[in-house]
Structure 1
Amino acid sequence: MSEQGANSQMGYQNALGERRFGRVNWLGLQTLAQREITRFLVVWTQTLLAPLVTAALFLLIFNLAIGPKRGDVMGVPFLHFLAPGIMMMTVIQNAFANTSSSLVISKVQGNIVDTLMPPLSGLEILLGYLAGAVVRGTMVACGIAVGLAVVLQIVPAHPLIALVFIVLGALFLGGLGIVAGIFANKFDQMAAITNFIVTPLAFLSGTFYSINALPPVLHALAQVNPVFYLIDGLRFGMIGTSDGAPFVGMAICAGASFAICLLAWAMLRGGYRLKA
């Protein structure tokens, strides 16, 4: 190899190393984020339409079963109290599904190497996956919000606060989905994580009730569940009422999201259960 060719090769390797470990690889990050967003847009009837139908069925069933008998909750009609909880539950379930399914499918099909081989750092891979989770969660939330405005005439009392909690919810469960997707090597392992961790977090967090009505022990347990603060904060943003202080809940949710994303970053950076 000539001296000029060697210098060119060395310059390329230095630029590649700087691109990977120094400056952000914007092209790679954009490509990964676009891939994750395109994944769910291609099958929008399953990833966007189906959650809207499920949320509508939840509201319909609760209204038919106990709505007229329940009366007001925290000074608002029961369906108005219930709607933000259903919205957040749908957001976090879809954010979790987006990141976890992407990783598990890639591992099962053996093409996870397509994500690991390009010059992307652990942080860039993390942000790419989270972009898909946040976009999907936000789109689902917007669809439900439009339905609530048309059917129940619920207009967000504090739209900016509602949006912040929606993004925090997508980040938290999107990060948790990455951790679960890295840990799980088979679909049944992912199903176990969903059934025994994600679903209880969503259902036992004030989605269908005020935690002030719980016995002291269950009330204390609910207060250590980050999903409770997500639902409570979104409830404040949507209807202006909540069990706790929304800005305290926002700080707790931000801390929980940062912690789980930090764990996901460490696992991606180290290649835990990803590299043979």
Structure 2
Amino acid sequence: MGKLYLVGTPIGNLEDITLRAIRILQSVDLIAAEDTRRTGKLLQHLAISTPQISYNEHNHHSRIQELINRLQQGTNLALVTDAGMPSISDPGVELVQAAIAHQITVIPIPGPTAVISALAASGLPTDRFIFEGFLPLKQSDRQVRLELLRNETKTIVLYEAPHRILKTLKDLVAVVGDTRKIVLARELTKIHEEFWRGNIGEAIDLYSNERQPKGEYTLVIKGADETSLITSKAELKHELQQLLAQGMTRSQASRQLAKLTSLSRREIYQLEIDNDNLES
């Protein structure tokens, strides 16, 4: 069978591609690209003539079986996105899962990623972090996700489009407050690369009054202060009821609160059941 190569491509500056990535793109039989026109420009820059096929969020469900069939017939395939590593906040993950299910070898060819680049230069703690990708578009789902992040003590990294950046900042301030430190990384590795550092309230002022959002954003947000962890069962019960009222399931709420107390998720889940029984 053929092999599936996950090839990291530049997120801006075309010089940010490895010699190994160039060799793989030259030697595979086919390149599955998010946007064949955009990848075509990169291939032209590198003088690579390997044929392409589109694979993106609009056609990936119908394309997966075709690509798996080609791999099973011996085709070596490179998967690329418009920028960065494929399968990270990307439908490529479904092709990877299908390849693994069919015992096809998957080989990562490391390259630049916005999440690591932004985190490394943010100045915020990097020893423990979580990557949330893009927040849900549906407001109810978005609120649940943000509530799960309210008391997260690890550094948080998000992606956001320019036309939604102000809304996301306002949604964040409603959950974590306006004094939480944040870094807005924009146009990474490009000519107009920028790191803006401050707190969420200041960022809202900036994009409400002074600046028009431009370019793709990576948001790096300081985690919650660990001294704010919940210590009493009365407070725990109150927080649990608040999360349930906001639409979280009991399992989601218990998992979130377990990060903030010495009790396990199971103990918190059972505590609420006991209270329900007592109140009934």
TM-score range, shorter chain: under 0.3
TM-score (norm 2): 0.24
**Structure with greater strand percent:** 2
TM-score (norm 1): 0.24
Which structure is richer in relative contact order (CA contacts within 8 A, separation 6 or more)? 1
**Structure with greater helix percent:** 1
